[in-house]
């Protein structure tokens, strides 16, 4: 993937929460509750609870795949890489149009509520709002999410106040009858069990924003933590607001009036907020409704525009839509999406959209739940989710059954709409995309009988994603580098060949780890689908796993003249001579940890100056520091007349360093060793310190920057 098609990682945990939550609070709270009550009566708030529970399997599945494959495109990318490009096209185009419909109607809501205050055309305001959101999205995802954060904070404050004030009036004052005596709650289930299921499907669209976060996964920092945690927090908060908020509406509004009310929250608030001047409660709720529709429209444009971007990157859509501008945003995809949304605003009405959008999304959720099963059964080693769905595969099977049953209850019109989207997507794939795409999905890795259709480049692509995600917390990469053996074969290169180097290093590992050298040699020579990702001219990465090994071990071999590598090992040409070898041995059960560590080594090797730097460095400390180089490490030399001189003569355990840093190596008189707490620090010792970036930055300011500032001070009393 070229640099011109990469998106910036700018979104943190609260951004994830805000995008997900903001995409849900619009029609779900301010429009649908009254309409939904027609199907089940006052138990409508229970239907919101049921819908929130029913989306949990899809949420867990999306969280797992998103942490394994944080790529733009959401459902499209998941289905393409699991079930193949045909299903990816169906999921991509279908979800793209469904989300655009939802976004368009949300933006129309802005115009509708604006008309309460000013005599303006509804669609004119909606078009103007679309232009504003388009401008924000073109500037950058972080600025888009910044506005989203403001919307969501304002929304939660207003809706939280509405719920607290409503519950207080219901249970602690005589202004509203208690539920047990309130005639609004009788009969509670007007249509029985079927009514609850139909209503749950009807309001299911209220939770769809929960899954939109998957389409911007590529732009999320630390996706393995922020995606699942953000989605869970969003579901918890949104579910509480829906259930308690709709309960308050049911308690305050007459059933007949409630069933036909298109603004039930504004109606209910008229009986609340007595502590505000008259009418202010309505204005406040109307403002919250506008913020809700705006947040849905803003988040909708952000996430929806990533579908044509991702599909274009995979040649399923015209190539120009994969371009990224200087601000790090896919501007052609944003312009296309905004233009189509404005077209829908002009042409479409709101009637029936909830059922239509919900039905197709239920179909997509069926496929996504199945995709988790496919990815796990495919045994693709580089499929490495940072979060795994609980109760697998029962959770996924339940999600498939739930979606199937709810689709049946949605009615024929909604089902036919979904089938029409599928038909259009199949035609697009058949006449446009099929001749441009050569890959197949992970499902062909699952079924051995279909092995001839396996797309081995999936392993390569997933390894690339692993490299971009980086190491996982707890991966002992730094410690492995610190403890690595380093050998040189420059002096005897004429007597060395590739096989001899492999045998000698295997013997070293065998002695150190008490494992058979022959089995290590066999593992080092074995090939796998990830080999293309490790083929770098002048470098050879050989890896093995073995029972009885309890920690990763690395041996680095340097040879300035190069060792000729045979064609039989990998696909490197005969003219290539290996100058840097990495031999990595891991415990047998740590397959994915080994892949992450190999990915990190690839990232280091791809530095512009790697080969020159590695062969020029002399001491083992310098080589290891070069490999460790990032914001998590610092080198300090204990020199007299410096700030760090205070540590000279002390035991390491008596020197005060931040709790989240570690003195990993000490170089003394040309020799390098890992210290322990009782090691006495000496003058001229070179300390390699690793730890959290914030603490490393503090130590840099203390030891490096402060010394430089002291050097600039004028001489006083004959002393520097």
* Helical pair 85-114 and 306-313, crossing angle rounded to 10 deg: 160
Are the C-beta atoms of residues 305 and 333 closer than 8 Å to each other?
A: yes
Nearest Cα neighbor of 266 from 287, 296, 297 is: 287
- Side by side, the strands of the sheet bearing 671-673 are 633-637, 686-691, 661-668, 671-673
User: Dihedral (C-alpha) 376, 380, 384, 388: value to the nearest 10 degrees?
Assistant: 0
The per-residue pLDDT for 348 is 62
Over the chain (720 residues), the average pLDDT of each successive run of 10 is 59 84 79 86 94 93 91 80 87 81 78 71 86 84 67 90 93 80 83 87 79 78 89 93 95 88 83 85 85 80 85 87 84 92 75 62 87 89 90 95 84 81 89 80 59 64 80 87 88 69 93 92 87 86 91 94 69 68 94 91 89 89 85 85 90 90 89 90 91 84 67 38
Is the CB of residue 365 less than 8 Å from the CB of residue 201? no
pLDDT of residue 712: 46
Nearest C-alpha neighbor of 530 from the set 613, 440, 592: 592
Is residue 316 within 8 Å of 436, Cβ to Cβ? yes
**Coil, strand, or helix at residue 323?**
coil
Question: How far apart, in whole angstroms, are the C-alpha atoms of residue 222 and residue 212?
Answer: 17
Q: What is the CATH number of domain 473-625?
A: 3.40.930.10
**pLDDT at position 288:** 87
- The C-alpha angle with vertex 126 and arms to 120 and 129, in degrees rounded to 5, equals 110
The region, left, alpha or beta by phi > 0 then psi within -120 to 50, assigned to residue 514 is left
* Domain segments of the chain as ranges: 3-356, 473-625, 630-712
pLDDT at residue number 456: 63
Give the CATH class of 630-712: alpha beta
- pLDDT value for 630: 73
666 DSSP β-pair partners:
673, 687
Alpha helix segments (H runs only) across 173-222: 192-203, 209-212
Q: How many CB atoms lie within 10 A of CB 191?
A: 16
What's 3-356's CATH class?
mainly alpha
d(CA 579, CA 501): 12
Q: Could you give the CA distance from residue 113 to residue 29 in angstroms, rounded to a whole number?
A: 14
Residue 328: per-residue pLDDT: 79
pTM to 2 decimal places: 0.76
């Amino acid at each position: 993937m070229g640099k011109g098609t990469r998106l910036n990682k700018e979104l943190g945990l609260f951004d994830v929460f805000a995008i997900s939550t903001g995409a849900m609070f619009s029609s779900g709270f301010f429009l649908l509750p009254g309409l939904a009550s027609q199907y089940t009566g006052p138990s409508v708030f229970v239907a919101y609870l049921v819908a929130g529970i029913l989306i949990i399997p899809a949420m867990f599945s999306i969280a797992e795949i998103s942490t394994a494959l944080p790529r733009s495109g959401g459902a499209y990318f998941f289905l393409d890489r699991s079930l193949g490009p045909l299903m990816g096209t169906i999921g991509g185009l279908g979800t793209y149009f469904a989300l655009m419909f939802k976004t368009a109607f949300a933006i129309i809501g802005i115009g509708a509520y604006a008309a309460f205050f000013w005599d303006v055309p509804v669609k004119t305001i909606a078009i103007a709002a679309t232009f504003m959101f388009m401008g924000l999205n073109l500037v950058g995802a972080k600025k888009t999410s910044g506005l989203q954060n403001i919307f969501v904070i304002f929304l939660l404050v207003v809706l939280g106040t509405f719920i607290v004030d409503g519950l207080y009036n219901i249970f602690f004052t005589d202004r509203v009858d208690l539920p047990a005596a309130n005639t609004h709650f009788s009969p509670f289930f007007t249509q029985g069990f079927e009514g609850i299921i139909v209503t749950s499907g009807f309001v299911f669209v209220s939770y769809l924003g929960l899954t939109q976060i998957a389409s911007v996964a590529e732009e999320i920092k630390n996706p393995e933590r922020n995606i699942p945690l953000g989605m869970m927090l969003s579901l918890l908060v949104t579910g509480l607001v829906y259930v308690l908020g709709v309960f308050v509406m049911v308690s305050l509004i007459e059933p007949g009036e409630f069933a036909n009310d298109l603004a039930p929250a504004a109606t209910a608030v008229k009986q609340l907020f007595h502590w505000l001047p008259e009418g202010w409660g309505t204005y406040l709720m109307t403002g919250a409704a506008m913020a809700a529709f705006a947040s849905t429209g803003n988040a909708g444009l952000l996430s929806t525009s990533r579908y044509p971007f991702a599909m274009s990157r995979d040649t399923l859509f015209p190539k120009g839509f994969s371009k990224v501008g200087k601000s790090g945003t896919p501007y052609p995809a944003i312009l296309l999406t905004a233009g189509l949304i404005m077209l829908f605003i002009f042409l479409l009405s709101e009637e029936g959209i909830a059922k239509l959008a919900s039905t197709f999304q239920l179909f997509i959720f069926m496929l996504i739940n199945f995709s988790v099963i496919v990815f796990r059964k495919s045994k693709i080693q580089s499929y490495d989710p940072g979060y795994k769905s609980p109760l697998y595969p029962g959770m996924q099977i339940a999600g498939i059954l739930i979606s199937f049953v709810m689709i049946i209850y949605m009615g024929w019109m909604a089902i036919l709409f979904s089938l029409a989207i599928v038909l259009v997507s199949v035609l697009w794939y058949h006449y446009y995309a099929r001749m441009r795409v050569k890959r197949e999905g992970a499902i062909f890795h699952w079924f051995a009988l279909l092995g001839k259709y396996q797309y081995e480049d999936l392993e390569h692509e997933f390894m690339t994603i692993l490299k971009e995600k980086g190491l996982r917390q707890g991966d002992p990469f730094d410690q492995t580098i610190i403890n690595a053996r380093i050998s040189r074969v420059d002096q005897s290169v004429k007597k060395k060949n590739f096989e001899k180097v492999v045998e000698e290093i295997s013997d070293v590992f065998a002695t150190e780890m008490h494992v058979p050298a022959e089995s290590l040699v066999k593992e080092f020579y074995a090939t796998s689908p990830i080999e293309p990702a490790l083929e770098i001219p002048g470098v050879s990465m050989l890896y093995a796993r073995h029972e009885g090994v309890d920690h990763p071990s690395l041996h680095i071999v340097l040879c300035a003249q190069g060792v000729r590598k045979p064609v039989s090992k990998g696909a490197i040409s005969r003219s290539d001579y290996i100058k840097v070898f990495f031999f990595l041995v891991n415990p047998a059960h740590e397959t994915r940890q080994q892949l992450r560590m190999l990915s990190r080594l690839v990232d280091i090797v791809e530095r512009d100056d790697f080969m020159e730097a590695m062969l020029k460095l002399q001491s083992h400390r310098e080589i290891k520091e070069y490999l460790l180089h990032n914001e998590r490490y610092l080198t300090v030399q204990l020199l007299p007349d410096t700030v760090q001189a205070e540590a000279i003569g002390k035991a390491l355990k008596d020197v005060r360093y931040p709790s989240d840093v570690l003195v990993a190596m000490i170089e003394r008189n040309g020799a390098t060793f890992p210290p322990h707490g009782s090691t006495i620090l000496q003058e001229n010792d070179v300390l390699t310190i690793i730890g959290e970036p914030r603490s490393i930055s503090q130590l840099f300011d203390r030891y490096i920057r402060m010394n430089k500032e002291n050097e600039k001070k004028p001489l006083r009393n004959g002393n520097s």
